[in-house]
Amino acid sequence: MPDRRPLVAGNWKMNGVAASLTEIDAIGDGLIDPPCDVAICPPATLIAAAVERAKNTPLMIGGQDCHMAEKGAHTGDLSAEMIADAGGKLVIVGHSERRTDHGEADALVRAKAEAGWRAGLLVILCIGETEAERRAGDTLAVLDRQLAGSLPDGADAHRLVIAYEPVWAIGTGLTPSNDDIQTAHAHIRQRLVATVGNNGAAIRVLYGGSVKPGNADEILPLPDVDGALVGGASLKAADFLAIVAAA
Catalytic residues: 95, 165
Orientation angle between helical segments 178-196 and 139-150, nearest 10 degrees? 40
Work out the end-to-end distance of the chain between its first and last CA atoms, rounded to an integer number of angstroms. Answer: 18
Cβ of 225: how many Cβ atoms within 10 Å?
A: 23
- What is the rounded distance in angstroms from the CA atom of residue 77 to the CA atom of residue 65? 9
- What is the rounded distance in angstroms from the CA atom of residue 121 to the CA atom of residue 135? 36
- What is the rounded distance in angstroms from the CA atom of residue 55 to the CA atom of residue 41? 15
- Are the CB atoms for 15 and 24 separated by under 8 Å? no
- What is the rounded distance in angstroms from the CA atom of residue 78 to the CA atom of residue 99? 17
Q: By CB neighbour count within 10 A (0-12 exposed, 13-18 middle, 19+ buried), where does 77 fall?
A: middle
CA distances in angstroms from 34 to 31, 65, 157, 214, 217, listed in the order given: 5, 26, 20, 19, 16
- Are the CB atoms for 34 and 244 separated by under 8 Å? yes
